[in-house]
């Protein structure tokens, strides 16, 4: 219910027009307008962004303007700006080269769990480097990526072994999470998690993600994102369920008329498939009955298609007493 409320609040805040990519006069002398997400990076934040050899790789696009947040334990605030993979913090009291810090979102979001499988390497393995400050190692392709893209300054120290999450090898650092994609071409198999986006969606006001206009230039969809959830996490045999899917573009604007496919795997082993269209708010709904199904987990694969763009996600719920 909480997740559905957050989606409804966000959609109520979302305006209905779209914008196309391209440079804009909204870009000032010290600012750069990112048409992919409709936000400006300026001042010290822009200087820090451009210092990275490959900022698109390690930071991604901005997903907010800069704004103040309260500092824990006091009445002060700090100015921050969110990017897809990081959050910048402004420290104006520091020397120019240290005025921008990367928040430790890896530490904030990492939740150790004894049930999660871990691939711990042998101590002093020749393909690894140990970091005594946290007593974890970085190995193989993760170590190569770490060294090639800023190392400790960019990512901080490792704070976990390699973990298996959702069937994929990942490793947490103070400011990042590395993911391993063996199916990608050589040299592209280490991918950074969008920790900036994850943290923002958990703790910040979704209105801050709304893009600012770029001189009224229309904005086209460059990416598709689908989220799905069930109205009830647990229900009794024979109860009715409602499945929801929200389809958005890269700025989290609703994509109406996107085709949404629900593929439902039932506890009995049967599989059912339903195809519908998202409404003008980007929401597709599917009422679904569990009559005749045994106790167990119902898994739902949700596919979204719009123009040449595709995305997929999973959700589930349980039939219980």
Tracing tokens 């569990």 back to the chain, one arrives at 290
Using pLDDT thresholds of 50, 70 and 90, give the confidence band for residue 3: very low
Contact of 17 with 26, CB cutoff 8 Å: no
pTM of the model: 0.68
| pLDDT tens, position by position, 65-95 | 999 999 877 789 999 999 999 999 999 999 9
Distance of CA 246 to the CA centre of its chain: 15
Query: What is 224-319's CATH number, 2.60.40.10, 1.10.4190.10, 2.60.40.1930, 3.40.50.2030?
Result: 2.60.40.1930
In 21-167, DSSP assigns E strands to 31-34, 39-42, 67-70, 77-82, 87-90, 100-102, 118-119, 128-131, 136-139, 162-165
Q: pLDDT category, 213, cuts 50, 70, 90?
A: low
Share of the chain above pLDDT 90, in %: 69
Where in the chain do CATH 2.60.40.1930 domains reside? 224-319
Q: Region 170-176: what's the mean pLDDT?
A: 98
Position 29 scores a pLDDT of: 54
Dump pLDDT digits (tens) for 288-313: 988 888 889 999 999 999 999 999 99
Q: What is the DSSP string of 154-170?
A: HH--B-S-EEEETTEEE
Identify the weakest region by mean pLDDT among 51-55, 217-221, 268-272, 287-291.
Answer: 217-221
Token duo for residue 60: 């991604």
Map 23-50 to HEC letters: CCCCCCCCEEEECCCCEEEEHHHHHHHH
Confidence of residue 5 (pLDDT cuts 50, 70, 90): very low
Least Cα distance to 145 among 178, 104, 194 occurs for 178
pLDDT of residue 214: 59
* Torsion-angle region of 106 (φ positive above 0: left; ψ -120 to 50: alpha; else: beta): alpha
pLDDT of 192: 97
What is the CB neighbour count within 10 angstroms for residue 127?
12
Two structure tokens written together for 17:
């027009």
| Average pLDDT, rounded, for the chain | 87
- pLDDT at site 16: 36
Residue-wise pLDDT for 144-156, tens only, equals 999 999 999 999 9
At 9-47, the pLDDT tens digits run 444 444 333 333 334 344 555 799 998 888 999 999 999
SS3 label, residue 208: helix
Percentage of residues in the chain having pLDDT higher than 70 = 88
> Which is nearest to 106 in space by CA: 120, 88, 86?
86
Q: What is the mean pLDDT of residues 199-209?
A: 93
């Amino acid at each position: 219910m909480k997740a559905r409320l957050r989606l409804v609040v966000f959609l109520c805040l979302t305006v209905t027009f779209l914008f196309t990519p391209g440079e804009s006069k909204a870009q000032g002398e010290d600012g750069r307008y990112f048409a992919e997400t409709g936000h400006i990076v300026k001042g010290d934040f822009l200087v820090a962004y451009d210092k990275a050899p490959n900022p698109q790789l390690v930071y991604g696009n901005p997903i907010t303007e800069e704004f103040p947040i309260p500092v824990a334990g006091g009445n002060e605030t700090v100015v921050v700006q969110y990017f897809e993979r990081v959050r910048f913090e402004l420290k104006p009291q520091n020397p120019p080269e240290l005025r921008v810090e990367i928040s430790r979102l890896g530490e904030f979001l990492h939740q150790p769990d004894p049930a999660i499988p871990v691939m711990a390497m042998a101590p002093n393995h020749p393909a690894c480097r140990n970091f005594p400050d946290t007593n974890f190692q970085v190995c193989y392709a993760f170590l190569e990526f770490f060294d090639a893209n800023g190392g400790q300054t960019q990512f901080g120290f490792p704070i976990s072994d390699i973990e298996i999450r959702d069937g994929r090898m990942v490793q947490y650092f103070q400011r990042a999470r590395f993911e391993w994609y063996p199916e990608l071409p050589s040299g592209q198999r280490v991918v950074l998690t969008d920790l900036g986006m994850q943290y923002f969606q958990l703790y910040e006001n979704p209105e801050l993600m709304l893009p600012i206009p770029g001189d009224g230039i229309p904005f086209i969809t460059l990416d598709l994102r689908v989220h799905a959830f069930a109205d009830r996490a647990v229900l009794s045999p024979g109860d009715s369920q409602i499945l929801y899917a929200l389809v958005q573009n890269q700025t989290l604007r609703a994509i109406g008329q996107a085709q949404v496919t629900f593929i439902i795997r039932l506890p009995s082993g049967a599989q059912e498939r339903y195809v519908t269209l998202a409404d003008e708010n980007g929401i597709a709904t599917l009422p679904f009955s569990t009559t005749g199904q045994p106790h167990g987990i119902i898994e739902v694969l949700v596919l979204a298609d719009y123009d040449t763009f595709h995305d997929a996600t999973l959700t589930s719920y349980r039939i219980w007493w």
